[in-house]
Amino acid sequence: MGCRASCCRIAALAGHPERGEALVRRIEASLAANAAPPGAPVAALVWQSGGIVPGEGTLIVDLLRRTGFANAAAARGLGQADVLPLEALIAAPPALILSASHGAGEDERMLGHPALAALGGVRREPLDPSLLWCGGPTIIRAADRLGAVRRSL
């Protein structure tokens, strides 16, 4: 079941089918406003606590593509919940590292590591981990965040 169908079904079960349709319209508007610009996608890695990366078929990877990024984990042959150690990341860094950790201190530790700071041409940005897992209204926030990062490159 796709996002549209899921949103509408849940809203109908809750007794408010009109809210499901309204949410779908908001999601579609956000995806359109943050659609990938022309040109090649930017290699991006969503790097979670412990070096965990998302795999193909996940919501966040779909949103990466829709907003103009290519999943750098898949390019390395990594799948859902595989681990990418810091050393491997440094050996072949993507253009963008999105740190999805559980707190500002952890973001600072992951993204502010001296080895990452020494890499030229690699952008590092935090990404709220709550944007990785759930569909529905979260899609809007995730697309808006990824779109803002993409436009800032």
pLDDT surpasses 70 at 153 = yes
Q: Are 140 and 130 in contact (CB under 8 A)?
A: no
In three-state secondary structure terms, 16 is coil
Query: What distance in Å separates the CA atoms of residue 105 and residue 123, rounded to the nearest whole number?
Result: 18
According to CATH, the topology of domain 39-152 is Rossmann fold (3.40.50)
Domain chopping of the chain, boundaries: 1-33, 39-152
State the average pLDDT over residues 92-121: 82
pLDDT for the residue numbered 108: 66
DSSP labels for 46-101?
Answer: EEEGGGEE--TTSHHHHHHHHTTEEEHHHHTT--TTEE--HHHHHHS--SEEEEE-
pLDDT band of residue 104 (cuts 50, 70, 90) is: low
Q: Dump pLDDT digits (tens) for 40-90.
A: 999 999 998 888 999 999 999 999 999 999 999 999 999 999 999 999 999
